[in-house]
A and B are shown apart, each in its own frame.
Chain A
Amino acid sequence: MHLRKRPVLVGPFDVKTRDPLPVGDGTVRRARAVAEALFSSETEAPSPARLDWLVKELRGFVGHSGEDARRILALSLFAVTVLGPLLAFKIGFVSKSLSERRDILDKVEHGPLSTALLAVKAVLCILYFEHPDAAKEIGAPFECLVAGAPSHAHTEASR
């Protein structure tokens, strides 16, 4: 109702169709390896289709967030996947098994590079759990959180 009472700002809306800055293949490869471990079950990584979707989203996210964000993510991934293994007396990350990668991430989370992992984990989790299936898996219906969602008046019934 209030929209009808007020003038509305108009203008070109094109941010979604703008070309994102390219994201380096090394950054994407490292991010995918972290995501495989981060979202794995005891034995398996998420499906390749889910990871492909995540990588596509990651390219869009980082590419549109600007150069500083791209730099910070690249540096954080470097810290987690190159320096992080050293904390577990290992070298390399991408080629390691899922359980080895999880161990490395665990060491990083409890060590001096925890801030770098926080940055990486934050981006990957936000993107990963926005996938409709992932959202469903954690029991988070996305009323009001995705395009075209119905209004979600807070009522006793809605609880």
Chain B
Amino acid sequence: MTPVESCRTKEGRLEIEADVVVVGSGAGGAVIACELAEAGHKVVVLEEGPFVPALEHGQMRPSESLRHVWRGGAFTVAFGLGDTPHINVTMGRVVGGSSTVTGGVCFRVPGQVLSTWQRERGMTHLTESALEPYYASVEEAVHVETVPVNMRSKSTEHFVRGAEARGLVMKPIARNTDGCNGCGRCNFGCPHVAKMSVDVTYLPRAAAKGARIFADCLVERVIMKGDRAVGVEGRMANGKYGKPKDAFVVRAKRVVLSAGAAYTPLLLRRSGITGVSNQTGKNVTVHPGFRMIARFSDEVRGWAGAMQSAYTDSLEHEGITLMGLFVPPAVLAATMPGQGPELLRRAGTVKNLAIFGGIIHDEGGGRVWPGFGREPILTYRMAKHDRALIPRVIREMGEAFFAAGAKEVFTPILGAPGMDADAFRAFPFEDVKSRDIECSSQHPLGSCRMGMTPEHSVVDTVGKVWDTRELYVADGSMVPTSLGVNPQLAIMTLATRVAWHLRETPYLS
């Protein structure tokens, strides 16, 4: 096993040679690294964030996880343009990337989404059966299993009961877990290392085959020789307080960018690679998400049970997926309105609270812009159709909770009080200003979308950046449209497809 190396403690210029350099160690990069290392390639993985062993992450309090594992303490925002809420877009920044901070939910690309890719984007070869071997490989590697009904939290049970009473068909969620104890805190690390994120699956396999994984390593650009990528360069986070200081260069026969939808397009742009389509950094979809909290008279203790265990796609024809979730009590208390005694009284009801979430299968409208420093600026302009769905999502979730016997609900309207059923039904959600709506996203996708022609996409369907040689993308940025469901399995599957292609493709001489 090759140990992870931290650039934080290295000194002086670092120069490395490899067959393949992978930028980013999340769901895309880890798969690439593992598949190629196991095929005998000399692989180097560069990760901007630190190394936090899974067991240590699982011992952290949520706020410790936020500060050490999440990007920017989870303060990352896509600024809403026009009639759009500001969106809290969260990402991981650690060895293992965002896979370490997901709830572990795994969906295959929905059939209607694949149909869209085939029909509207000409990717007729991306069929369910063609993707089957890649799915099978990933699902075995990360141990995808269905959450049994008896693992559901009471929070989820309440919602399921109300939703089913309203005619919605609730289905069990599949997750990448093995030995889950139902602690309800998957986003903040698993105390039992039961979440099979890539830092406990693909990356150890890669390291076991000699892949070198560098943490605290900030890639700034791809080194190009004409149209051919020959390596990457950047600086190590070995300055005071982890600021970038000493330079490093990795010379490689092949470069794979897996820095995620926010960073991969920036790397391309900083390397002078914009392509004829000028689509780099555009077309970002995020699955705008909204939560609904409900207070019941009985104790819910929503933290006891699987954090995410049930969902419904009954509203998919409208562009809505409702998804179970829970958040630790301290985080839940943070969402309560009011100050002083009022806030404390509400916080004192956390054991009575249930929560559910809804995401919109969005049309896109997000964009990644270069920031003043190293960080990108994200903006998002919601399509009118998507914006109109927000009240629909809120109403549906609220009604489901009331059908289950909730006493009051707390909506994602900033400053709005708890509402009983009458107040909820009378509330003019359609008239609420976008800026007053709390919105979050964990699924930024599409900023370097794949496609059939360089005129309309950034990479081809095996991730090769158009009009370049030996430069590939394998992460959420290549997903060409919103999926309407959690994307980690889709990202790993597409990355496997890229990896297997690279495995068989000789390097340029």
Contacts and interface: CB of A to CB of B under 8 A. Distances in A.
Given A102-B340, A109-B337, A2 B178 contact: yes
A33 B265 CA distance: 41
For chain B, which range describes its interface: under 10, 10 to 19, 20 to 34, or 35 or more residues?
35 or more
B340 A145 contact: no
A67 B237 CA distance: 13
A119 interface: yes
Contacts of B373: 67
A140 B347 CA distance: 10
B449 interface: no
A62 B241 CA distance: 12
B415 A7 contact: no
Q: Looking at A10, A57, A105, A158, which has the most chain B CB atoms within 10 Å of its CB?
A: A10
A122 B339 contact: no
Contacts of B9: 12
A2 B414 contact: no
Interface stretch (B46-54, B117-125, B225-233, B452-460): B46-54
Interface string A110-144: 10101100110111111111100001011110111
A21 B68 contact: no
A38 B340 contact: yes
A151 B181 contact: yes
B58 to A, nearest CB: 9
B400 interface: no
Given A9-B4, A65-B75, A145 B329 contact: yes
Given A112-B435, A125-B333, A154 B52 contact: no
Contact of A40 (B59, B335, B340): B340
Interface stretch (A24-32, A68-76, A85-93): A68-76
Interface stretch (B158-166, B184-192, B379-387): B184-192
B63 A130 contact: yes
Contacts of B319: none
B203 A9 contact: yes
Interface in B69-112: 70-73, 75-77, 86, 95
Interface string A44-60: 00000000000001001
Contacts of A11: 3-6, 51, 53, 95, 213, 215
A127 B306 CA distance: 24
A66 B438 contact: no
B304 A37 contact: no
B305 interface: yes
A154 B67 contact: no
Contacts of A39: 340, 343-344
A70 B73 CA distance: 9
Q: Looking at B67, B70, B184, which has the most chain A CB atoms within 10 Å of its CB?
A: B67
A15 B373 CA distance: 23
A69 B75 contact: yes
B19 interface: no
Q: Looking at B151, B205, B339, which has the most chain A CB atoms within 10 Å of its CB?
A: B339
A65 B66 contact: yes
B474 to A, nearest CB: 20
Nearest to B298: A159
A9 B53 contact: yes
Given A7-B208, A12-B51, A41 B340 contact: yes
A92 to B, nearest CB: 17
Given A9-B199, A65-B67, A144 B414 contact: no
Q: Looking at B193, B335, B347, which has the most chain A CB atoms within 10 Å of its CB?
A: B347
Contacts of A7: 1, 204-205, 207-208
Contacts of A137: 344, 348
A130 B62 contact: yes
A154 B334 contact: no
Interface in B199-257: 199-201, 203-205, 207-208, 213, 215, 240-242
B72 A68 contact: yes
A118 B331 CA distance: 12
A112 B329 CA distance: 27
Nearest to A10: B3
B194 A138 contact: no
A145 B185 contact: yes
A154 to B, nearest CB: 4
Interface in A73-105: 73, 98, 102, 105
Listed from nearest, the 3 A-B pairs whose CB atoms lie closest are: A65-B73, A11-B4, A144-B183
7 contacts: A41-B344, A69-B75, A106-B338, A109-B337, A145-B183, A159-B154, A159-B304
